[in-house]
């Protein structure tokens, strides 16, 4: 490959060269995007308008919903526009922005899921101290910490990635993804970003271990509850979060279980869609189906909206 000293645009992987399939891709992604946006906006509105839901658990759920909206908004619209305009290009600055914001929201997603596990642990294992530990100030502090750490994490990775000199501008992915960009590097500095990615994997593993240990403590406490009704009530507050975490881990595992290749295939792209789009789209449904309080709040919201119209 020749050395591209000044790349102004990158070429993303296109789903198809056939115009009909490009249009189909546009409408499929549009449906998924609107479903994700509307579902998460309903969760945010339901929590904001129902004072019964102004608790730490739903405060963090609102933050998670905002993260999900952000993560799909970084990827899907550009892919839709490219299919509609029969284009593959994304500007250098647009690619850098996509990397930055996707990492920012992805890191925030993982950190908020970790914080929510801690919230459920305190609520079930130390119910008498819950209001003392998870007071409003502490919740805001934890949320701000998540946003700040995620931003610093994203800045570090983005700067490290785009400090490289790229020998090609053809990205074998439908969005700007760091591993695919590093394969285009023709400078040794890419090893710095590889090291950061390994550090990120260790950090992610640490969060997952924390969540697993937390739920072991929760289940241990629940089993000591004398009444079956009490056990079911305690578990009902954990099931939505546990399901969301399971979907997050499962889709990530599926996407990364396949051995890396130099070229993208339809299967690689399908797996990328699964781990980038499916979790944010499913999360609102998981919480609304598994949570009685959210169901009631959504019904009130929809009833109020229908009367207003």
- pLDDT, tens digit, 9 for 90 and up, residues 142-168: 999 999 999 999 999 899 888 888 888
pTM for this one?
0.88
pLDDT at 71 over 90: yes
Q: Which domains does the chain have, with CATH numbers?
A: 9-308 (1.20.1070.10)
d(CA 164, CA 3): 12
- pLDDT, tens digit, 9 for 90 and up, residues 199-240: 888 888 899 999 999 999 999 998 888 888 888 888 888 888
- pLDDT, tens digit, 9 for 90 and up, residues 46-66: 898 888 889 999 999 999 999
Token pair 């405060």 in the structure block, residue = 59
Between these two residues, 64 and 6, which has the higher pLDDT value?
Answer: 64
CA dihedral 209, 210, 216, 222 (to 10 degrees): -150
Tell me the two tokens of residue 56: 């730490």
Mean pLDDT of 68-72: 95
| Complete DSSP assignment for 164-175 | SPBS--B-SSSS
- pLDDT, tens digit, 9 for 90 and up, residues 250-290: 777 766 665 555 555 667 777 788 888 888 998 888 887 76
Helix (H) or strand (E) holding 94: helix 92-125
Lowest-confidence pick of 129-133, 139-143, 168-172, 266-270? 266-270
Between these two residues, 200 and 139, which has the higher pLDDT value?
Answer: 139
């Amino acid at each position: 490959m020749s050395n591209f000293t000044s790349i102004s645009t990158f070429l993303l992987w296109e789903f198809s060269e056939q115009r009909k399939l490009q249009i189909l891709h546009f409408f499929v992604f549009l449906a998924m995007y609107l479903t994700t946006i509307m579902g998460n906006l309903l969760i945010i509105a339901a929590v904001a308008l129902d004072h019964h839901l102004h608790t730490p658990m739903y405060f963090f759920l609102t933050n998670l919903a905002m993260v999900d909206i952000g993560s799909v908004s970084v990827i899907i619209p550009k892919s839709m526009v490219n299919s509609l305009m029969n284009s593959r290009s994304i500007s250098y600055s647009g690619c850098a922005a996509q990397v930055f914001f996707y990492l920012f929201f992805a890191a925030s997603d993982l950190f908020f899921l970790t914080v929510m596990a801690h919230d459920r642990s305190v609520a079930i294992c130390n119910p008498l101290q819950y209001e003392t530990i998870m007071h409003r100030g502490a919740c805001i502090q934890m949320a701000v910490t998540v946003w700040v750490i995620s931003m610093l994490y994203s800045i570090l990775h983005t700067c490290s990635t785009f400090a490289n000199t790229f020998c090609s501008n053809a990205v074998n992915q439908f969005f700007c993804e760091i591993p695919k960009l590093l394969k285009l590097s023709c400078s040794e500095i890419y090893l710095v970003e590889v090291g950061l990615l390994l550090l990120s994997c260790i950090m992610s593993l640490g969060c997952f271990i924390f969540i697993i240990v937390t739920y072991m403590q929760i289940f241990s406490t629940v089993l000591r509850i004398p009444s079956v009704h009490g056990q079911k009530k305690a578990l009902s507050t954990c099931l939505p979060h546990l399901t969301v975490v399971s979907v997050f881990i499962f889709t990530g595992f599926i996407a990364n279980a396949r051995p890396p290749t130099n070229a993208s295939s339809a299967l690689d792209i399908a797996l990328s869609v699964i781990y980038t789009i499916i979790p944010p789209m499913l999360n609102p449904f998981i919480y609304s189906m598994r949570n009685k309080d959210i169901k009631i709040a959504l019904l009130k919201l929809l009833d109020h909206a229908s009367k207003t119209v």
